[in-house]
Amino acid sequence: MERKVKILGIAPYSGLLTLMKQYARQREDISLTSVLGNMEDGVHIAEENYKDYDIIISRANTANSIAKAVPLTVIDIGIGYYDVLRCIKMAERTNTKFALIGFPSLTTIARTICDLLEMKMDIFPISTASETSTLMDTMKSMNYQTVICDAVAYKYAKLIGLTPILLTTSIESLEQAVDNAVYTWKTNLTLFDSLSMMRRVLSTSLSRYLILDTEGNSLYSTLHETQTLNFQESLRDELPRCCQDKKRSFFITQNNQMYSILSDFVEDGPAAYVIFRVMRSEIPLAHSKYGITIMDKSGAEMSFIDSFYSNTKLSREILADTEQYSNLSASLMITGEVGTGKDRIAHIYYAKSSYCSNPLYVVNCALLSEKSWNFITNNYNSPFTDNGNTIYISNLEQLSHARQKQLLSIILDTNIHIRNRMIFSCSQPSGNSLPHVAMEYANALGSIIIPVMPLRKQREDIPTSASLYIDTLNQSLGKQVVGLDDDAIKLLMDYDFPYNRAQFKRILKEAILKTTTPYISGETIQAVLDQEPLRSHVHTHAPQQAETPTPSEVEGELHLDLTQPLDVINHDIIQYVLKKCSGNQSAAAKKLGISRTTLWRYLNR
């Protein structure tokens, strides 16, 4: 039986990874292992794993970089004309000013398509990855809003407020690359078998190997990357003696572990080198606290870039605001309904601030256990005891009323908001004013309030956001959907989206999974919307002549968020009735059926 070709597929973006996995199931003559890695990450993956494979496939600049780094044939997954044309059509449907940026392999195809279809489109060529950021900054200053690009430019476009459409690979281009890989391997079968045999002998050995040239540069290693760097640094000091003595046996210590080393100096080839045989041992450790996480600038940026919210008009407004507030130390209070993306907004405010060199501590009030609450309020290792960081308190409304008071007291008594940058988020029910706790904290700490508008108040953003998010879904799901038809867009524009952008994102994902045609139809959108739950409350209006509202009337006008603690719900009801009574506490107490003293106690908790 003919042996399967072992192919390592390194995908620069998640959509290609999904496509590789789907295609691998269709071929019986190959064993395709697919991993995600763009540029440097892809090179690192190849360096660590190439010994176990016959050939590598990747795309564009990632493929070129891998080919320079490993002694294994690398097949570049080419760019097809249909791939480029599909992205151009998607860009046209955004109704924004757009252009294409890329290496000659991309721009040449784009120009050919424009010439054949007599189409006008601005094309910006680049020859190196380092040119990308400068050119895209220029494009932004020229009022471009959307850019067709490959994975090299994708992340930077989002960071500066441009909306990228990633050039994805079609199944036809992938199939051609795999066929090329199989042909190349079969042509060089004898050589590949010999290399594979040698790699297997090395990998099954109880020892590990590191080969250095006479200058101390690594030529080959069976160690993990971090171990290679550590041993490379230590063994450089031993190189002169190893070259002089030809063969040596000695010991070195790494991280309190002793290693036995055998060296062999080889000089019968075009260049001399030293083979080191070593033993290794490493134990990874991990620790975390429930409800409390730590992020850095890179992680926070990726949280925003990889989110749905970075594809919206809202993101451009947020990025503009972050520049305005970047040098301010004042605390922020981000408010909005459920599903409006408050966490992602907090992350990008931190990443763009002058505090971004220090960590971001995220305290999620919805996940805090008794133990983690005691940790942040009483332990000397709590982030509250440190200085110069950013502390993000999310879902503030989820704390009990007593803990809300306690937390505010701790912040004020210990000047946490002066020693650190504080960011808060608080959810508010649909149609209601800011929750009491949000106003209480904002007033006490002098916070800048950042309201996030619900999606139903930004309906004009729905068509563009949908088109751009479809591009993101194409990448992650391995689909090639172009967009929505007119009926589908109208249905989305007319829908209320009670759970905002989080619900919008989920609806589009369900629709694209159900779609087998280039465009998502109105019928598909309607089928998904029919499965959506009704809103948890109904807008009605109580008769003005009613002196005392019945429970149903109160529920009709007051939009209660039943996910809040009981004390907060009671407080919202009291504030509502007090407002209806024009601030008259005696009348409010009478309507509520409680004494004025009890009302006073509720108001001052």
Measured CA to CA, the distance from residue 59 to residue 473 in angstroms comes to: 20
Question: Within a 13 Å sphere around the CA of 434, how many CA atoms are in the beta-carbon half?
Answer: 18
Listed in sequence order, the residues at least 6 apart from 128 whose beta carbon sits closer than 8 Å to its beta carbon are none
Contact at 8 Å (CB) between 79 and 105? Answer: yes
Question: Is residue 114 exposed (0-12), middle (13-18) or buried (19+ Cβ within 10 Å)?
Answer: middle
Listed in sequence order, the residues at least 6 apart from 584 whose beta carbon sits closer than 8 Å to its beta carbon are 578
pLDDT recorded at residue 288: 45
3-state secondary structure string across 216-243: CCEEEECCCHHHHHHHHHHHHCCHHHHH
Considering only CA atoms, which of 424, 154, 504 is closest in space to residue 306? 154
Instruction: Name 423's bridge partners.
Output: 332, 392
Q: What sections of 279-341 are H helices per DSSP?
A: 297-305, 313-325
Write the CA distances from 594 to 554, 560, 591, 602, 603, integer angstroms: 16, 20, 8, 11, 13
Listed in sequence order, the residues at least 6 apart from 60 whose beta carbon sits closer than 8 Å to its beta carbon are 12, 76, 77, 79, 103, 105, 106, 150, 151, 152
At 511, the amino acid letter reads: A
Measured CA to CA, the distance from residue 520 to residue 469 in angstroms comes to: 13
Listed in sequence order, the residues at least 6 apart from 288 whose beta carbon sits closer than 8 Å to its beta carbon are none
Contact at 8 Å (CB) between 400 and 565? Answer: yes
Total Cβ atoms within 10 A of residue 54: 26
What parts of the chain have a pLDDT lower than 50? 281-288, 534-556
pLDDT recorded at residue 84: 92
At 393, the amino acid letter reads: I
* Token digits of residue 252: 């070195």
Supply the DSSP string of 140-204, one letter for each residue: HHTT--EEEE-HHHHHHHHHTT-EEEE-PPPHHHHHHHHHHHHHHHHHTHHHHHHHHHHHHHHHH
* Token digits of residue 288: 């975390």
At 523, the amino acid letter reads: E
Contact at 8 Å (CB) between 209 and 263? Answer: no
Rounded to 5 degrees, φ, ψ at 288 are -155, 160
Sign of CA dihedral 131, 136, 138, 144: positive
Contact at 8 Å (CB) between 306 and 469? Answer: no
Q: What is the pLDDT of residues 485-533, one digit of tens each?
A: 999 999 999 998 888 888 898 999 999 999 999 999 999 999 999 888 6
Measured CA to CA, the distance from residue 377 to residue 367 in angstroms comes to: 15
According to DSSP, residue 289 is labeled: B
pLDDT recorded at residue 563: 62
Considering only CA atoms, which of 180, 184, 109, 161 is closest in space to residue 312? 161
Write the CA distances from 347 to 181, 321, 505, 523, 555, integer angstroms: 42, 13, 19, 37, 35
pLDDT recorded at residue 302: 86
Give the CA diameter of the chain: 104
pLDDT recorded at residue 272: 92
SS3 360: strand
Instruction: Name 520's bridge partners.
Output: 484
Measured CA to CA, the distance from residue 581 to residue 444 in angstroms comes to: 27
Rg (CA), the chain: 30
* Sheet bearing 448-451, strands edge to edge: 292-295, 360-364, 390-394, 421-427, 332-336, 448-451
Tell me how many degrees the CA angle 289-294-297 measures, rounded to the nearest 5. Answer: 170
According to DSSP, residue 280 is labeled: -
Q: What is the pLDDT of residues 554-601, one digit of tens each?
A: 334 566 666 666 767 777 788 888 777 877 777 888 788 787 777 776
